[in-house]
Chains A and B, each alone.
Chain A
Amino acid sequence: MATFHFDFVGPERTLYSGEVEAVQIPGTEGEMTVLPGHAPVLTTLKVGVITVTEKAGSGKRIYVQGGFADIGPNAVTVLAERAAPIEEVNPAMIDKEIEAAELARDATEDLEKREQLNGQIVQLREAKHVLGAN
């Protein structure tokens, strides 16, 4: 099967770079799977898991917390501020994040900010659910 180039870049280092067959990306507007020859899209990411398929049956899963993906016909680049291989993440860690976000939400008076943090908490809960299902 055809492949394309996938780069996964964090601010401090490049986390993944290589030829892959497919990548599943948690876009803000919904999950999407990118195959070679995809139309150019720029999307922001929500909290979730990126699934990289190197070839049938082998691949990698990476946990991301926000960022964005630049998708083109022969390359995909994901820029994420915070990411970790899935083995290094556990639901307890996400629980902590949720707690921190909830505290921040209750501390602020700004309605817009509350709304934003609420969205974050929902995303984190979803991510925890995905992780828990493993």
Chain B
Amino acid sequence: MLIQQLLNGISLGAVYAIIAVGFALVFNILKFSNFSHGGVLTVTAYAGFLISSKLNLGFVPTILLTAVAGGLIAMGIERVAFRRLRKKGSPIILYFVSSITMGMLLENLITVFFSSNFYSYPKFFEKSSFTIFGLNMAVTDALMLIISIVSLTILMVVIYKTRLGIAIRALSMDTNTTSLMGINVNAVIAATFFVVGCLGGIAGVFLGLNYTLYPQLGQLIVKGFIASVLGGLGNLFGAVLGAILLGVLEVTLTNIPFIGAGLSPVVIFVIMLIFLILRPQGIAGKIVHEKA
């Protein structure tokens, strides 16, 4: 029973991890909390639905196409909402407001065009669950876990082994110096947003599969935020750790009859507050200082 819950929690945490990492990546290079990521989640959840139902595609092609679509959307967001701000060297506050506005815009565009009807993903699999070592697992949960692990591994390889990854890490330290080293900052930031959008697209499909499709789906971005606060703002490994912790916590709390699914946000909030008092730098350690 305990192991069963742990397994469910980890596979929920796996989706949160993809959201949290996408959020942490942008925080790393531009130093603001990117609320527009929630909009990407909503749009890709619906895009994935359209792709799978209109083109009659299976699961894997749907995920791949949606990831690419998410990447393009995120690049578009960067173009519209952040590029000019960066050119003019605007204060961080404006990035923040811009990203909130962008998130609201996407969410409400979906509301305008889709909220009148009820949509749900086509059934991808014959069986909905299977048993392994006496543990029950939903097929979507298993896929969620596998695909999250695969995409996070690919991401880590990209970040730590490729030229692009080096450029991204350099940017996260200092934009001007990176630019002086002959790196095309605009291109690297656009590429980062593409990567972030791909992660958002994958997460969007899973959210759409797990919950029904509704325009406010993107507000689950808050799970990504909480996960990265727990893990340490802007730290990728920390974000993954925090997300899995959060997933396990949520599943456990939902199974406690007194708390249930309804009150678990309250408990999570209280845990987050206590965490911030005791260890504001997060699990992973380093605190991000405001530049003087």
* A-B complex is real: no
